[in-house]
C-alpha cells in the first residue's frame, strides 16, 4: 500500500502514474465507485486477481461457486442499489459461463459490467488453451462489448463501459482484456466518460408529444396506466404516484414494475400479464386511453397482439426509441426519461377521479378474490399452498422485505401476493425467465441493501440450478432468507402439461434430495415445514433470525397458478380456472 | 403485409465487431441480407453500410430501430427503391478469343454500355455498373459464349432526400 500512496502523491503533480494494466483495472473500478464485485479466477485473469489481493481493503471480491452465480449476484446487487453490478471471470469457460447472466441483464435492462480475461494478444486466433471468442459470443446479449489488447486502452474503455452500462436504458457491457494488456506497464490517468458521440442515451421529451398526451388523458373517460421497470430505472416513482393520484387513474404493473407504487395504494389495481390480475387484464380491452410508462409490451403482457387494446388510444412513455411501435402502435409516443417526461406532463393534467371506472376494477378483483385469491392465501384444503407462504412472509416482514424470486409457479405466486412498501423490492428474472437466478441474485441483493430483509423464494427445480452458491452464503455469512417452495415438480411446465398436453408429465417430476441436510452441510440453519400449523411460527423465526436461514415448505404437488392467459390468447380470454 | 425492397443506410464508427453486431440483428429475426456494402462516407472517419433487404414496412422499421440502438451506430435510414439512386457493379472475365472471333461479343459490349478493364492474352475483363436487371441481362447474353468468372457487388445507393447526418454528429458532441 505504501507504494500506491507514493504513486498517488506523485500522481497529484503529474496526474499520471506508471502501473500495470491489471492495477489500472482496479483503479478504474475504484474511480467508478465500485467497492464490491463477484467473480471467479483463472489463468487469463490472474494478474487482475493479484491486484485484487493487494487492494482488498478497498475492493471486496466475492468468490461465487460458478461464474453464472457471479452475474446473477451482480444483477441482484444492481437491481436493489441502482448501481452498476460487476462480475469478473477468466477466459474460455469462465467467460462462456457469463452468457446467461448477460442475456438476463440485457433483456431486463440491468446495468452490469463483466470483465473477462483473454489469452495474450499474440495467441488470439490460435485456438490457445481457454481461448474463446467471447466478443462474438456475447455480442447479441450485451449493450456493448470491447476487447482490450493493449494496456493503454484500459482507462478509456473502462470509463466507457460504466457510462454505457448505466446510462439511458441500462444494460450489460462486457470488456475482454488480453493477458499481455494486464501485464503491460503504462502511464495511467483516468477520466470519467460523459458521452459517446454516436450514442444518445436519453432523448429529450417533445413538448408537442407531452401536450398531446395531456389532452388525451384529460379527455379520457376510462384511462388505464400500465407501468414497467422504466419507472424504477428512471427513479420516477414519486412522479408516477402523483400522476395516478392527480388524474385518479387505475394503474397496473408489469412484473418488473412491481414495487414502484405501494401494493396497498388504492389505485394500484395489480399486475398485468399471463398470470396477472383478472381486472387489469380484462379491462385492458375496455379502457379508452392506455398509458404505458417504461414498459415494452412483452408478449407475456399483451397476449395476442391483434386483440390487445385495439379500442384504446395508446400513449407510450419510453426511453428506448426502438421500443416505440415495436409491438403496439403508439398514438402518442413520448421519448425520454420517465421522470423528466412525467414532470413535464404533470402540470398539464387536470385533477380528476374515475370512480365508476375504478369500481369496475374493484368488482373484477372481488370475482378474482372469491374464485382464486381466497383459496390461494387462506386455503381450506389440507395441503399447503404457495400463496399462504407468501402471505405469512408479508405479515412477518411487515411488507418491508426485498423479495427475490426465481422462475416458475412460485415466481408468479410470489409476484402476485408479495406486498411492497418500497421501490426496488421485487427482484426477479422477467424477460429471460432464468431458472437459477434467485439464489445468487438474493446474495447480491442483500449485499446491495444490507439494512433490508432479503427473502429468496425459489422452486425446487430452479434452486438446484445454482444451489452451489450456498457456499457464498456460508463463507461470507450473507444473512439472506431462503424459502424453497417444494412441490417435487417443475411446477409451471407441469401445469402446462396438465392444461395443454393432456397430463403427459414428460420430465417434470423431480426426485429431490434432502434440502435441509444440504443447507446444514453449509452450516446454515434449516427447517422443513410440511404442515400448516408450523408455518407461521417458522416463518416468524426465519425473519427474526440475524443469520442466513433456509426454509423448505412442502406444498401441494399439483396446484395451478390462476388467473392465466393461455399462450397466444387475448387478454380478454383470461381464465380464472 | 406486403414485402418490398428496402435500402438501409447505416452511418457508424469504424470499429471492429460492429458488422457482427449488425448482422446479428438480421439473424435473430430470420431476415436475409440480400446485399451488403461497407465503405467510407461523406464524413471523415464515419463508415457507411448499405444493406438491401426484402421485407415488410414493419420489419424494416424494427430493424432500423435495433441497428440505430447499437452504441457505435450514429444513424440508420431506410428507403424504398424510388427514393434512392442506386447501382451495382459487376466484373465479367471472358476468354480473349471470343473478343476477336465472335462479332456479337463486340455488339454486346457496346449495347450494354460496359467497359473493358483489361485485355490479356487469354482473357479480357468487362466492368458493368447499373441496375440489377441490366447486369442480369448482360450476363444472360454472355452466358451462351461462356463466362470464365463473374462477380457482382452489393448495392450502393444515395438517397434523393438529404440524410441529415453531419448535424446529428454535431448534436452528439454536446
Cell numbers describing residue A493: 411446465
Q: Is there a contact between B17 and A145 if contact means CB atoms under 8 Å apart? A: yes
Same-domain status, A82 and A217? no
Comparing alpha-carbon positions, the chain A residue that sits nearest to B75 is A198
Confidence bin at B100 (pLDDT 50/70/90) = confident
Range with the lowest mean pLDDT among A41-45, A138-142, A390-394, B157-161?
B157-161
pLDDT of residue B167: 78
pLDDT higher than threshold 70 for residue A188: yes
Instruction: Write out pLDDT tens, residues A16-65.
Output: 899 999 999 999 999 999 999 999 999 999 999 999 999 999 999 999 99
Same domain, A177 and A244: no
* Active-site amino acid positions of A: 67, 129-130, 179, 492
pLDDT of res. A162: 98
What CATH number has the domain bearing residue A105? 3.40.50.970
The reply to whether B109 and B26 lie within a common domain is: no
Do B73 and B99 fall into the same domain?
A: no
List the CATH number of the domain containing A247: 3.40.50.1220
Assess whether B9 and B56 both reside in one domain: yes
- B65: closest CA of chain A, how far (Å): 4
Chain segment A255-299, per-residue pLDDT in tens: 999 999 999 999 999 999 999 999 999 999 999 999 999 999 999
- CATH code for the domain of B72: 3.30.70.260
A360 in a domain, yes or no? no
Q: Mean of the pLDDT values across residues A370-396?
A: 97
Q: Give the closest of A164, A197, A326 to B65, CB-based.
A: A326
Nearest chain A residue to B171, by CA: A197
Return left, alpha or beta for A109; rule: phi > 0 is left, psi -120 to 50 is alpha, else beta.
left
User: What residues in B contact A322, CB-CB < 8 Å?
Assistant: 62, 65-66, 68-69
The predicted structure's pLDDT at residue B147: 96
State the Cα torsion A516-A522-A525-A531 to the nearest 10°. -10
Average pLDDT over residues A83-99: 98
Q: Which residues of A touch B62 (CB under 8 A)?
A: 322, 326
Confidence of residue A5 (pLDDT cuts 50, 70, 90): very low
User: Nearest residue of B to residue A160 by CA position?
Assistant: B71
Q: What sign does the CA torsion over A173, A174, A177, A178 have?
A: negative
pLDDT of residue B173: 58
pLDDT for the residue B172: 61
Residues A477 and A515 in one domain: yes
Mean pLDDT (whole number) for B71-99 = 95
At residue A414, the pLDDT reads: 98
Residues B100 and B81 in one domain: no
Indicate if A26 and A134 belong to the same structural domain: yes
Give the tens place of pLDDT for each residue, B115-126.
Answer: 999 999 999 999
pLDDT at B169: 74
A60, β-bridge pairs: A36
Do A417 and A531 belong together in one domain? Answer: yes
Q: How many CB pairs under 8 A join A and B?
A: 53
* Predicted confidence (pLDDT) per residue in B74-84, tens digit: 999 999 999 99
Cell of A170: 441500462
- Domain hosting B137: range is 87-152
Please tell me whether residues A556 and A412 are part of one structural domain: yes
**Same domain assignment for residues B22 and B91:** no
Residue B8 to chain A, least CA–CA distance (Å) = 16
- The C-alpha angle A104, A407, A365, rounded to 5 degrees, equals 115
Asked if residue A365 belongs to a domain, the reply is no
- The reply to whether A306 touches chain B by the CB within 8 Å rule is no
Residue A193 forms part of a structural domain: no
For residues B21 and B46, state if they share a domain: yes
Q: Do B66 and A144 touch (CB under 8 A)?
A: no
- Rounded to 5 degrees, φ, ψ at B73 are -90, 130
pLDDT digits (tens, 9 = 90+) for A484-519: 999 999 999 999 999 999 999 999 999 999 999 999
Q: Say if residue A398 is in the same domain as residue A521.
A: yes
CB distance B65–A322 less than 8 Å?
A: yes
- The model carries a pTM of 0.95
Give contacts of A 122-181 with B, CB under 8 A: 135-136, 139-140, 143-147, 164
pLDDT, chain A, mean: 96
Residue with cell 456493448: A144
DSSP A382: S
Q: Which residue matches cell numbers 369496475?
A: A360
* A16 plus A164 within the same structural domain: yes
Judge whether residue A404 has pLDDT over 60.
Answer: yes
Count: domains in chain A: 3
Residues 6+ apart with CB under 8 A from B144: none
Same-domain check for residues B147 and B91: yes
Q: Is A504 exposed, middle or buried (0-12, 13-18, 19+ CB in 10 A)?
A: exposed
Alpha-carbon gap: B120 to the closest alpha carbon of chain A (Å): 39
Q: Which of A156, A188, A220 is the last residue of a domain?
A: A188
Q: Of A355, A389, A416, which residue is a domain's last?
A: A355
Asked if A414 and A529 sit in the same domain, the reply is yes
Closest-CA residue of chain A to B46: A198
Q: Which residues of B touch A (CB under 8 A)?
A: 12-13, 16-17, 20-21, 24, 28, 61-62, 65-66, 68-69, 71-74, 169, 171-173
Do the chains contact at B17 and A195, CB–CB below 8 Å? no
Residue B148 sits in a domain whose CATH number is: 3.30.70.1150
| CA distance linking residue B39 with residue B10, whole number of Å | 11
- Peptide bond before A161: cis, by omega within 30 degrees of 0? no
Phi/psi of residue B12, nearest 5 degrees: -150, 170
> Any chain B CB within 8 A of the CB of A198?
yes
- The pair phi, psi for residue B59, each rounded to 5°, is -70, -35
Of A355, A370, A400, the position where a domain reaches its end is: A355
Q: Is B60's pLDDT higher than 80?
A: yes
A322 touching chain B per CB within 8 A: yes
Find out whether A240 and A306 touch, Cβ atoms under 8 Å.
no
| Type and span of the H or E element at A72 | helix A67-81
Question: Any idea which residue has 408479495 for its cell?
Answer: A418
Cβ–Cβ below 8 Å for A322 and B12: no
Cell 415466481, residue? A411
CB–CB of A136 and B20 under 8 A?
yes
Domain residues for the domain of A53 are 2-188
Residues of B in contact with A320 (CB under 8 A): 69
**Structural domains of chain B, count:** 2
A251 located within any domain: yes
Distance CA B136, CA A180 (A): 51
Q: Are residues B95 and B10 in the same domain?
A: no
Per-residue confidence at B64, pLDDT binned at 50, 70, 90? very high
For residues B161 and B75, state if they share a domain.
Answer: yes
Distance from CA of A196 to the nearest CA of B (A): 7
Instruction: Kindly list the residues from chain B whose CB atom is less than 8 angstroms away from the CB atom of residue A140.
Output: 21, 24, 28
Same domain (yes/no): B161, B80 = yes
Asked if residue B91 and residue B78 are part of one domain, the reply reads: no
Distance from CA of B87 to the nearest CA of A (A): 28
**Measured between beta carbons, which residues in chain A are less than 8 angstroms from residue B61?**
325
Domain co-membership, A227 together with A335? yes
Q: What is the ipTM of this complex?
A: 0.91
Of B12, B28, B69, the CB nearest to A322: B69
* Angle ∠(A58,A446,A176) on CA atoms, nearest 5: 55
Report, as an integer, the average pLDDT of A114-120: 98
Is the pLDDT score of A553 beyond 90?
yes
Are residue A235 and residue A146 in the same domain, yes or no?
Answer: no
CB-based contact B71 A196, cutoff 8 Å: yes
User: A459 and A563: one domain?
Assistant: yes
Residue A492 covered by a domain: yes
Please list every residue in chain A whose beta carbon sits closer than 8 Å to the beta carbon of residue B19. none
Amino acid at each position: 500500500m505504501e507504494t500506491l500512496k507514493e504513486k498517488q502523491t506523485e500522481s497529484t503533480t503529474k496526474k499520471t502514474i506508471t502501473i500495470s494494466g491489471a492495477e489500472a483495472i482496479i483503479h478504474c473500478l475504484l474511480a467508478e465507485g465500485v467497492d464490491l464485485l463477484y467473480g471467479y479466477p483463472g489463468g487469463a485473469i490472474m494478474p487482475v486477481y493479484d491486484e485484487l489481493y493487494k487492494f482488498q481493503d478497498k475492493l471486496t471480491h466475492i468468490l461465487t461457486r460458478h461464474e453464472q452465480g457471479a452475474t446473477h449476484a451482480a444483477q441482484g446487487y444492481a437491481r436493489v442499489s441502482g448501481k452498476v453490478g460487476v462480475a469478473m471471470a477468466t477466459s474460455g469457460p469462465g467467460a462462456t459461463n457469463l452468457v446467461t447472466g448477460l442475456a438476463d441483464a440485457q433483456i431486463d435492462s440491468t446495468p452490469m459490467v463483466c470483465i473477462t480475461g483473454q489469452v495474450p494478444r499474440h495467441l488470439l486466433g490460435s485456438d490457445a488453451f481457454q481461448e474463446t471468442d467471447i466478443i462474438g459470443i456475447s455480442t447479441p446479449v450485451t449493450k456493448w462489448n470491447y476487447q482490450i489488447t493493449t494496456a493503454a486502452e484500459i482507462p478509456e474503455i473502462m470509463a466507457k463501459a460504466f457510462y454505457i452500462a448505466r446510462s439511458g436504458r441500462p444494460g450489460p457491457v462486457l470488456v475482454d482484456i488480453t493477458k499481455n494488456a494486464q501485464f503491460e506497464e503504462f502511464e495511467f490517468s483516468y477520466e470519467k466518460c460523459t458521452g459517446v458521440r454516436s450514442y444518445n442515451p436519453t432523448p429529450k421529451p417533445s413538448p408537442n408529444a407531452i401536450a398531446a398526451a395531456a389532452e388525451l388523458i384529460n379527455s379520457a373517460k376510462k384511462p388505464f396506466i400500465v407501468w414497467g421497470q422504466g419507472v424504477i430505472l428512471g427513479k420516477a416513482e414519486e412522479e408516477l404516484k402523483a400522476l395516478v393520484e392527480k388524474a385518479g387513474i387505475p394503474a397496473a404493473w408489469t412484473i418488473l414494475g412491481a414495487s414502484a407504487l405501494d401494493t396497498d395504494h388504492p389505485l394500484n389495481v395489480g399486475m398485468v400479464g399471463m398470470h396477472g390480475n383478472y381486472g387489469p387484464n380484462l379491462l385492458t380491452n375496455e379502457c379508452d386511453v392506455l398509458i404505458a410508462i417504461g414498459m415494452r409490451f412483452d408478449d407475456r403482457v399483451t397476449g395476442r397482439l391483434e386483440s390487445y387494446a385495439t379500442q384504446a388510444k395508446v400513449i407510450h412513455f419510453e426511453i428506448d426509441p426502438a421500443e416505440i411501435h415495436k409491438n403496439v402502435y403508439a398514438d402518442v409516443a413520448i421519448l425520454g426519461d420517465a421522470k423528466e417526461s412525467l414532470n413535464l406532463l404533470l402540470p398539464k393534467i387536470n385533477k380528476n377521479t374515475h370512480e365508476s371506472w375504478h369500481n369496475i376494477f374493484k368488482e373484477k378483483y372481488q370475482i378474482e378474490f372469491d374464485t382464486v385469491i381466497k383459496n390461494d392465501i387462506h386455503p381450506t384444503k389440507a395441503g399447503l399452498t404457495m400463496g399462504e407462504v407468501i402471505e405469512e412472509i408479508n405479515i412477518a416482514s411487515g411488507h418491508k422485505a426485498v423479495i427475490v424470486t426465481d422462475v416458475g409457479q412460485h415466481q408468479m405466486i410470489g409476484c402476485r401476493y408479495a406486498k411492497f412498501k418500497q421501490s426496488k423490492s421485487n427482484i426477479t428474472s422477467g424477460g429471460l425467465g432464468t431458472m437459477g437466478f434467485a439464489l445468487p441474485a438474493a446474495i447480491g441483493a442483500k449485499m446491495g441493501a444490507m439494512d433490508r430483509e432479503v427473502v429468496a423464494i425459489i422452486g425446487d427445480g430452479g434452486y438446484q440450478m445454482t444451489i452451489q452458491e450456498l457456499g457464498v452464503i456460508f463463507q461470507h455469512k450473507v444473512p439472506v432468507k431462503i424459502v424453497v417452495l417444494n412441490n417435487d415438480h417443475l411446477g409451471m411446465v407441469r401445469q402446462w402439461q396438465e392444461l395443454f398436453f393432456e397430463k403427459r408429465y414428460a420430465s417434470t417430476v423431480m426426485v429431490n434430495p434432502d434440502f435441509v441436510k444440504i443447507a446444514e452441510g453449509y452450516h446454515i440453519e434449516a427447517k422443513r415445514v410440511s404442515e400448516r400449523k408450523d408455518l407461521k411460527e417458522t416463518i416468524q423465526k426465519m425473519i427474526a433470525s440475524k443469520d442466513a436461514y433456509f426454509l423448505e415448505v412442502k406444498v401441494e404437488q399439483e396446484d395451478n397458478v390462476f388467473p392465466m392467459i393461455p399462450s397466444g390468447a387475448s387478454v380478454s380470454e383470461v381464465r380464472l380456472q | 403485409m406486403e414485402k418490398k425492397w428496402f435500402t438501409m443506410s447505416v452511418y457508424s464508427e469504424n470499429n471492429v465487431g460492429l458488422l457482427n453486431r449488425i448482422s446479428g440483428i438480421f439473424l435473430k429475426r430470420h431476415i436475409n441480407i440480400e446485399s451488403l456494402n461497407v465503405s467510407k462516407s461523406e464524413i471523415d472517419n464515419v463508415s457507411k453500410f448499405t444493406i438491401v433487404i426484402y421485407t415488410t414496412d414493419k420489419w424494416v422499421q424494427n430493424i432500423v430501430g435495433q441497428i440505430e440502438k447499437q452504441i457505435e451506430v450514429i444513424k440508420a435510414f431506410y428507403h424504398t427503391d424510388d427514393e434512392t439512386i442506386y447501382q451495382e457493379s459487376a466484373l465479367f472475365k471472358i476468354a480473349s478469343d471470343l473478343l476477336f472471333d465472335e462479332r456479337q461479343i463486340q455488339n454486346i459490349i457496346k449495347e450494354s454500355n460496359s467497359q473493358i478493364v483489361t485485355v490479356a492474352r487469354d482473357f479480357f475483363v468487362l466492368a458493368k455498373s447499373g441496375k440489377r436487371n441490366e447486369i442480369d441481362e448482360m450476363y444472360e447474353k454472355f452466358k451462351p459464349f461462356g463466362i470464365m468468372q463473374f462477380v457482382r457487388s452489393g448495392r450502393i445507393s444515395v438517397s434523393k432526400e438529404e440524410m441529415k447526418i453531419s448535424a446529428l454528429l454535431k448534436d452528439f458532441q454536446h
